[in-house]
Chain A
């Protein structure tokens, strides 16, 4: 199983540029999440989704947008990149069942210059 796949692994953006971080999972999980991790810090929730067509804001949603048109995919969009968005971004998925663990992608390291 591929699990949770994120692309790209690395990206450098200029201030004001836009990009989409891709996330796909093959475990048929309803729940998907986007987190960011700044150096030496824990993970902060950006957006999450409990199923196709349903998304909700997390702790730090400003400057980002998401969509969930299929169960498998949950892309994260940065519209106007700012240096404050330099971070490592992790996508995760989980089942609604509380007995199951969450699975994470390998991360996307984004630098905005």
Chain B
């Protein structure tokens, strides 16, 4: 059974810092891994999708990597801004369905 874990559960950093969010999964047979952002009281916004054959994907200040052999994905946020404050969720695609981690709640203060 696929299980997805995210560390840390919460993170508070000053504006401008580069930071890394971690996502671990137990079954390396995932088809892809997707990172989402969730603002308080809102739905999920897709940030990046990494296919199982890829090592990383980039979008603006975001870079996500995938290492299936070690069961890890990381989301790197460069030059963090207060507007990046949100909960970040990773989800591994396990055949037909997405299995979610518990999320990392990020606060970036000015």
By the criterion CB–CB under 8 Å, are A90 and B97 in contact? no
Question: Chain A 83-109 against B: per-residue CB contact (8 Å), 1 yes, 0 no?
Answer: 000000010101000111111111100
Q: How many residues of B contact A (CB 8 A)?
A: 24
Contact pick for A94, options B44, B51, B98, B99, CB 8 Å: B98
| CB contact list, A3-38 vs B, under 8 A | 31, 33, 35
A-B residue pair count with CB separations less than 8 angstroms: 56
Which residue in chain A gives the minimum CB-CB distance to B93? A98
Majority DSSP secondary structure for residues of A touching B: strand
Interface residue ranges of A31-64 to B (CB < 8 Å): 31, 33, 35, 41-45, 48, 50, 56, 58
How many residues in A have their beta carbons less than 8 Å from beta carbons of B? 25
User: Do A104 and B43 contact each other (CB < 8 Å), given the known contacts A42-B102, A43-B89?
Assistant: yes
Contact B97 A45 (CB under 8 A): yes
Cβ contacts under 8 Å, A41 to chain B: 102-103
A101 in contact with B49 given A45-B97, A58-B97, A90-B44 (CB within 8 Å): yes
Query: Would you list 8 pairs from A and B whose C-beta atoms are within 8 A, ordered by A residue?
Result: A31-B97, A33-B97, A42-B103, A45-B97, A90-B44, A98-B32, A98-B51, A104-B43
Identify 11 new A-B residue pairs, CB closer than 8 A, beyond the known A42-B4, A102-B46, A104-B46: A31-B96, A33-B97, A33-B98, A43-B91, A44-B100, A50-B96, A94-B98, A98-B32, A98-B52, A99-B51, A107-B43
